[in-house]
C-alpha cells in the first residue's frame, strides 16, 4: 500500500517566511498530527549559509548583496553556501525519512535520482558527481560539467527539513556572488541554459511530484497552510 503524502505550494515567498512555515509543518510531523509533506516554493533572491560554510566562499560583502537586492542568512541545513532566487523550484520534503529508506545517505541519493528522472522528462541528462551532492549536467554551450540542482538537508527528531533547489531559469549572474556549495572548479547552469523551453514552475512541480511518488512509493494529495493550521 502506498504511503500518503501531502503537498503544499507556497508560490513566490521570502525565505524567512517560508522557513517559518516549514518549521510549523515539521513540528506537526514530529508529533504525528500532520502527514509527511512536500513543501514547494520560489524565493526572492537570497544567499544562504549552511552549517559547513567557509567565509571565503562569499565573494562580496553583505552591503554589496543588499545593493543587488539579495538577502543573506544562516540556515540549519548541511552543506556550504548557496543561492536561491526567482526562477528556481525549491522543494522541501518534510518527512520521516526512515519510513522510506535506510539512512540519510540513501535518502540523499534517492532525492538526487528523483531530479535525474525529472530532468530526463525534459530531455536533459542529469548525473551525480562523486563526492559532491546535487545533480550535474554537461552544459551544451560550454561543454562543461555544471550543477543544475543543489541539495542540502537537515534531520531533527527523525524528520527531514530543507531539500533541493532546481535551477529552471534563475539569474545566473547572481551565482557569481558566491562559490556555490564551496566548489570552485565547477559552475552553475539552468534548465533553460541547457536548451529546455521556458517552463512554468507549477508544471515542473507537478512532474516532480510524479517522479517523487515513483521513487518513494507515495501517493500525494494537495493541501494548504489553512488546512494544516486547523489540525
Binding residues for substrate: 77-84, 150-152, 163-165
Q: How far apart are CA 149 and CA 133, in angstroms?
A: 9
Pair 163, 173: CB distance under 8 Å: no
Q: Which residue has the cell 510531523?
A: 29
Q: How far apart are CA 93 and CA 39, in angstroms?
A: 6
Q: How far apart are CA 13 and CA 92, in angstroms?
A: 14
Residue 110 makes CB contacts below 8 A (sequence gap 6+) with 100, 101, 215, 216
Q: How far apart are CA 86 and CA 175, in angstroms?
A: 12
Q: How far apart are CA 129 and CA 136, in angstroms?
A: 7
Rounded to whole angstroms, the maximal C-alpha distance in the chain is 53
The catalytically annotated residue of 29, 181, 194, 196 is: 181
Binding residues are 77-84, 150-152, 163-165
Grid cell locating 46: 537570497
- Write out the DSSP string of 115-141: HHHHHHHTT---EEETTEEEEEEE-TT
Active site residue 181: yes
Q: How far apart are CA 211 and CA 209, in angstroms?
A: 5
Catalytic residue list: 181
Amino acid at each position: 500500500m502506498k504511503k500518503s503524502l501531502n503537498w503544499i505550494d507556497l508560490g513566490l515567498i521570502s525565505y524567512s517566511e517560508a522557513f517559518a512555515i516549514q518549521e510549523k509543518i515539521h513540528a506537526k510531523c514530529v508529533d504525528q498530527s500532520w502527514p509527511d509533506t512536500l513543501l514547494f516554493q520560489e524565493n526572492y533572491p537570497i544567499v544562504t549559509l549552511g552549517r559547513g560554510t567557509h567565509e571565503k566562499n562569499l565573494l562580496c560583502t553583505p552591503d554589496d548583496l543588499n545593493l543587488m537586492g539579495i538577502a543573506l542568512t544562516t540556515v540549519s541545513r548541511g552543506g556550504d553556501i548557496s543561492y536561491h532566487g526567482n526562477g528556481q523550484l525549491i522543494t522541501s520534503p518534510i518527512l520521516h525519512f526512515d519510513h522510506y529508506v535506510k539512512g540519510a545517505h540513501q535518502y540523499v541519493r534517492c532525492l538526487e535520482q528523483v531530479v535525474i528522472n525529472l530532468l530526463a522528462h525534459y530531455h536533459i541528462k542529469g548525473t551525480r558527481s562523486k563526492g559532491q551532492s546535487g545533480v550535474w549536467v554537461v552544459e551544451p554551450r560550454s561543454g562543461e560539467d555544471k550543477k543544475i540542482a543543489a541539495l542540502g538537508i537537515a534531520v531533527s527528531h527523525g524528520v527531514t527539513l530543507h531539500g533541493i533547489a532546481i535551477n529552471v531559469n534563475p539569474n545566473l549572474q547572481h551565482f557569481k556572488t558566491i562559490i556555490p556549495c564551496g566548489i570552485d572548479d565547477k559552475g552553475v547552469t539552468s534548465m533553460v541554459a541547457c536548451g529546455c523551453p521556458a517552463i512554468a514552475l507549477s508544471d515542473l512541480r507537478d512532474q516532480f511530484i510524479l517522479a517523487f511518488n515513483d521513487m518513494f512509493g507515495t501517493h500525494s494529495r494537495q493541501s494548504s497552510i489553512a488546512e494544516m493550521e486547523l489540525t
